[in-house]
Structure 1
Amino acid sequence: MALVLSPEPPLASWLLGLDAQIARSASFFAGRPVILDCGLLDPSDEGIAELLPALADRGVRLIAIEGADQSWPATEGWDWPEGFSGGRAVGALEVPDDVEGGQADAAGGAAGLQEAARAAPSLLIEEPVRSGQSIVYAEGDVIVIGSVASGAEIAAGGSIHIYGTLRGRAVAGLSGNRDARILCRRMNAELIAIDGYYMTAEDMPAGLLGKSTQTRLDGETLVLLPLD
């Protein structure tokens, strides 16, 4: 699994937005494979030559570049990653008809995505999630019968239930579901997130580490609570 970054002009403004995301979660891109999709860019756009070095400076590790060509004058100095094959898009959400028709506002569209996530079936994982594995299921909840190792990641459109120790990353509410929760038997996570709000291990209450917990979103704050 890989993240896809789709820069758009003006690139200086796009990089400022990326910096804001990194400021909210400094470790968000740490160790994650990323595909750079340049489909929204024109070869003549200002700042293309500096784009790849700028991403490298921010700790973004690229495994592939799409939508750009090595024949572009602005990309001559890029250090192109080796290509890969067999990839496919995953985790696409079905957009409600009223959003496609332009009849719903942003709030209505978000509500439709939340309802879709809640109604979707759960993904059941009947074995531990090993370090380096990344499981993304944007359609609903993820249930893990086991532990999630350090360096592993679970991402779900709904809630995440872990019947073991959470040592890696858990990202819930991918589809804008603010009601999503993260529940685990033992909390030792590297990072947890709901609907884009993040908390790293350094910010977690020491008294809840190693305990059964649930994480929910209260306004713009992640709240950890004991399950017992």
Structure 2
Amino acid sequence: MPDTSPSLPKIRIRGRSFLALVLSPEGSLSDWLSSLDQQLKSSSFFFLGKPVIVNLELLSGNEEGLDELHTALTQRNIQVICVEGGSSTWDALQNWPKTFIFGNGKHIDNLDMPANPLPSNAPTPCLIVDEPVRSGQSILFPEGDVIITNSVASGAEIVAGGSIHVYGALRGRAIAGISGQPKARIFAYQLEAELMAIDGFYMTAEEVDDHLSMKAAQVYLDHDVMTVTPLIKIK
């Protein structure tokens, strides 16, 4: 008799890359958490929806409060997906969720050099996006600049290895210089970003002067300080 059993669905497996933030606790964990709380006061949504890796390489495993650190981070809406730099044999980590993976990820600013590097005068790669970037969308281009010829909606995210150029309203999050480029900049025809970051330094909308909000502006690092200045109009 012919086999009449229903066919089983095909299992589809795809790889996916994403940007994860890394937290490296150090010293007195109570002091470190207090410092974290101070930063969260000015940017309470910085970790919202972001995967976070906890790097324990600065700890010995015997710190007071280490056994409750994962709970303290969860209470602050920090979603830990991985632990690295420590050991799963540490007594203080035995009550941490077993779903945590102890491993070592690759830092985005330590990418391997290509076998045939580009000459020094080669143009920087760029990604050009003509469509509006809608809420919930995320654009990641660690190889170079991202150019948006449209607007970026609130809730969207642009992540670039180099600079970010938006020839429209920039809302949402703009994260530039993730490939270790402190000279990267963020340019916007209309600056309304909820959060901006360059080479690991960040600022929120509340930190932008009112006279620069919703104006044509650029953001850059000046001695490790996020700085916003108006764009000079070309006549």
* TM-score band w.r.t. shorter chain: 0.5 to 0.7
Residue number in structure 2 paired with 1:174: 178
Q: How far 1:161 moved relative to its partner?
A: 0.6
Q: Could you say if the C-alpha distance between residues 52 and 170 of structure 1 is closer, same or farther in structure 2, counting changes exceeding 3 Å?
A: same
- SS of the aligned residue for 1:170 comes to strand
Q: Deviations for 1:26-45, whole angstroms, at most 9, x for unmatched residues? A: 34633232143568599965
Q: Which moved more, 1:32-41 or 1:53-62?
A: 32-41
Amino acid at match of 1:202: E
What CA RMSD, in Å, does the superposition of the two structures yield over aligned residues? Answer: 4.1
Alignment of 1:112-151 (within 5 A): 120-151=124-155
Q: Does 1:50 align with 2:68?
A: yes
Q: Within 2, Cα distance between the matches of 1:69 and 1:199?
A: 34
The structure whose residues are more often helix, as a share, is 1
Rg larger in structure? 2
Contact 1:140 1:156 (C-alpha < 8 Å) held by counterparts: yes
1:159 is aligned, of 154, 158, 163, to: 163
2:213 is aligned, of 209, 213, 226, to: 209
Contact 1:198 1:222 (C-alpha < 8 Å) held by counterparts: no
2:43 is aligned, of 26, 32, 39, to: 26
Q: Within 1, Cα distance between the matches of 2:123 and 2:34?
A: 32
Taking every aligned residue pair, what percent have the same amino acid on both sides?
Answer: 39
Q: Within 2, Cα distance between the matches of 1:167 and 1:222?
A: 17
Amino acid at match of 1:94: L
Amino acid at match of 1:160: I
Q: Could you say if the C-alpha distance between residues 158 and 77 of structure 1 is closer, same or farther in structure 2, counting changes exceeding 3 Å?
A: same
Q: How far 1:56 moved relative to its partner?
A: 1.8
- SS of the aligned residue for 1:206 comes to coil
Contact 1:2 1:35 (C-alpha < 8 Å) held by counterparts: no
Q: How far 1:172 moved relative to its partner?
A: 1.6
Q: How far 1:187 moved relative to its partner?
A: 1.2
- SS of the aligned residue for 2:228 comes to strand
* Unpaired stretches in structure 1, ≥5 consecutive residues: 98-114
- SS of the aligned residue for 1:30 comes to coil
Q: Within 1, Cα distance between the matches of 2:31 and 2:137?
A: 29
Q: Could you say if the C-alpha distance between residues 198 and 36 of structure 1 is closer, same or farther in structure 2, counting changes exceeding 3 Å?
A: closer
TM-score, length basis structure 2: 0.65
Residue number in structure 1 paired with 2:14: none
Q: Within 1, Cα distance between the matches of 2:83 and 2:228?
A: 39
Q: Within 1, Cα distance between the matches of 2:36 and 2:55?
A: 18
Amino acid at match of 1:222: T
* Unpaired stretches in structure 2, ≥5 consecutive residues: 1-17
Q: Within 1, Cα distance between the matches of 2:137 and 2:28?
A: 32
Q: Which moved more, 1:181-190 or 1:43-52?
A: 43-52
Q: Which moved more, 1:119-128 or 1:160-169?
A: 119-128
Q: Deviations for 1:41-74, whole angstroms, at most 9, x for unmatched residues? A: 9996544421211212333123x33568999764
* Number of residues of Structure 1 aligned to a counterpart in Structure 2: 205
